[in-house]
Amino acid sequence: MKYRRYGKFHLRDYASAWFAIVFLFVLLVVGFLTDTQFYLLIWPLLLIMHMAWSIYKPNSECFLISGDTITIMQGRRKQKVSIPSELTLVVSYADVCHPLAKRISDGNPNYILKGRYAISILQKMPLETALARLHRNYTRKYSNSTVEACFDKYLYVYSFVGNQEMLDKLLADRNCQIIIPETLLNQISINLHQINVHIDTGY
């Protein structure tokens, strides 16, 4: 079954972008009505296109999990990523970071996906190492974008907005540990006695 990487699209998740786009569009209309020189109108037009692309690009990505492979699809492009036999899963808050802004800084403006959680797949590592990376910026909440920024490329595999079905599929017949923030524990059904689970208290 194919899934959307960031789940169902909700207009409200991108409210800040819509307000900015409307404001820039009004500036464009005023510019045209007042015969503003064309080169001055290029910048708001480019910003509108850039913001619209920052919403469309990530939401066009889909994937499917088949055995030990994740197939990522975006338009005509397909990419296959292997799921390690031993892995670390991090449950976090869900957000969308503009693809061009990833890994630039810790202060990237992200779109928060309210009421949803994300699952990040990492190579297996000691629990202390994973927690040290997640907590190194002293943030009280971490999201899938900050998880990706915290780990080197060879440790990070993939992330997506999760649901119980996808989580169960990843946990099935795999040697893995899972890190769950205390504040998200009530959103997930998991057998704490059969799986190596760490509850990240205070996060």
Tens of pLDDT along 2-46? 899 999 999 999 998 899 999 999 999 998 888 888 888 899 999
Cα–Cα distance, 8 to 155 (Å, whole number): 28
Q: Is residue 5 situated within a structural domain?
A: no
Residue 174: pLDDT band by 50, 70, 90 thresholds?
A: confident
Higher pLDDT, 139 or 29: 29
Q: Is residue 68 situated within a structural domain?
A: no
Asked if residues 20 and 51 have their Cβ atoms less than 8 Å apart, the reply is yes
Based on its alpha-carbon atoms, the radius of gyration of the chain, rounded to whole angstroms, reads: 20
Residue 180: pLDDT band by 50, 70, 90 thresholds?
A: very high
Copy the structure tokens of residue 61: 């990505």
Q: Which residue range forms the structural domain that includes residue 172?
A: 84-200
Q: Is residue 45 situated within a structural domain?
A: no
pLDDT at 166: 83
Tens-place pLDDT, residues 76-135: 899 999 999 899 999 999 999 865 555 444 445 578 898 899 999 999 999 999 999 999
pLDDT at 10: 93
Asked if residues 194 and 123 have their Cβ atoms less than 8 Å apart, the reply is no
Domain count, the chain: 1
Q: Is residue 111 situated within a structural domain?
A: yes
Asked if residues 55 and 14 have their Cβ atoms less than 8 Å apart, the reply is yes
* Residue 102 neighbours by CB distance under 10 Å: 11
pLDDT at 163: 81
Average confidence (pLDDT) over 186-197:
75
Q: What are phi and psi of 31, to 5 degrees?
A: -60, -45
Higher pLDDT, 173 or 150: 150
Asked if residues 114 and 13 have their Cβ atoms less than 8 Å apart, the reply is yes
